[in-house]
Amino acid sequence: GENVEQHPSTLSVQEGDSAVIKCTYSDSASNYFPWYKQELGKGPQLIIDIRSNVGEKKDQRIAVTLNKTAKHFSLHITETQPEDSAVYFCAPTIRNTNAGKSTFGDGTTLTVKP
């Protein structure tokens, strides 16, 4: 099965600084690379994703970069704000299989200090 490693497991930054979380996966068949944000007491929610034919995608303060050769992708958050504090999960996915198999990383707890 897919082996997913996410680093760091915790990250503390000052408001306004940047944060980077890296996800390494093992299955070269993975072709969809989402990042989910989970706030306390809620279910995870997609914040950005990228497909295997694209190297980078940006949405305002967040971006995702993909290196398929090295099998890793990263979440970048710029100008962090206290509301960015949450747990973030990567979930490399093999789409177009029967149900689209997603394997989640163990999560990164991001704390943004005001």
Partner 1 sequence: DAGITQSPRHKVTETGTPVTLRCHQTENHRYMYWYRQDPGHGLRLIHYSYGVKDTDKGEVSDGYSVSRSKTEDFLLTLESATSSQTSVYFCAIKGLEGTGELFFGEGSRLTVL
- Binding residues vs partner 1 (CB under 8 A): 1, 6, 32, 34, 36, 41-46, 49, 89, 91, 93, 95-96, 98-102, 104-107
112 and 85 in contact (C-beta within 8 Å)? yes
Give me the least distance between CB of 65 and partner 1, in Å please. Answer: 18
Instruction: Please count the helices (runs of H) and the strands (runs of E) in the chain.
Output: 0, 12
Give me the least distance between CB of 40 and partner 1, in Å please. Answer: 11
The whole-angstrom separation of Cα 14 and Cα 32 is 31
- CB nearer to partner 1: give 10 or 18: 10
